[in-house]
């Protein structure tokens, strides 16, 4: 009888430790997320399941072109690409991104641009000031956009994102199995 109680107690302890570790890992280190919608197409597809790295921004800051997950104003988590960092002046002209007056290439958009009809732009011309009323990305904020520029609700619509609303970055699709990949 004592042996059965001891074995039950050992199994209970092991289970509690496993559940505790899983909770710590999910809450502080990594979490799963499901892509909802087509705003990041063709980089990410609706239904892709990804791992969010929560520790990356506890140790460092977001980099330009990172794919981040953040709490949006609609009480929903969004997945978008970092375009502008604090202090950046953002402009799109003739389907080219300019940051602080310097043109940047966006190779992740090449496939989408090739599919457009003659002369049609993927990203409409705009300046940060036209979209947000601010000349530069404010300190402590990011300007984010979806890769599917024509069908993405992003900083052009919801404004800049406070960095503290960023959950983490993501670059690994783990489901569906046939689509496992790292994304850039």
Q: Please give the positions annotated as active site.
A: 39, 80
Torsion of CA 115, 121, 126, 128, to 10 degrees: 20
Whole-angstrom CA distances from 172 to 84, 92, 126 are 22, 28, 31
For 17, 77, 121, 126, the CA distances from 100, given in Å and listed in that order, are: 51, 29, 21, 14
From the list 94, 129, 123, 127, the residue with the least C-alpha distance to 109 is 123
């Amino acid at each position: 009888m004592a042996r059965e109680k001891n074995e039950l107690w050992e199994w209970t302890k092991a289970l509690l430790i496993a559940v505790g570790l899983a909770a710590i890992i999910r809450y502080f280190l990594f979490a799963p997320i499901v892509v909802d919608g087509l705003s990041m197409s063709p980089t990410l597809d609706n239904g892709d399941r990804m791992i969010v790295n929560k520790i990356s921004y506890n140790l460092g800051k977001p980099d330009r072109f990172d794919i981040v997950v953040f709490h949006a104003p609609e009480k929903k988590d969004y997945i978008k690409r970092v375009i502008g960092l604090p202090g950046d002046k953002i402009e799109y002209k003739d389907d080219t991104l300019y940051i602080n007056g310097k043109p940047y290439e966006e190779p992740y958009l090449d496939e989408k641009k090739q599919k457009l009809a003659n002369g049609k732009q993927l990203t409409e011309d705009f300046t940060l000031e036209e979209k947000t009323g601010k000349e530069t990305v404010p300190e402590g904020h990011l300007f984010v956009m979806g890769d599917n520029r024509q069908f993405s609700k992003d900083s052009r619509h919801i404004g800049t994102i406070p960095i503290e609303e960023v959950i983490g970055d993501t670059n690994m699709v783990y489901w569906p199995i046939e689509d496992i990949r790292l994304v850039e």
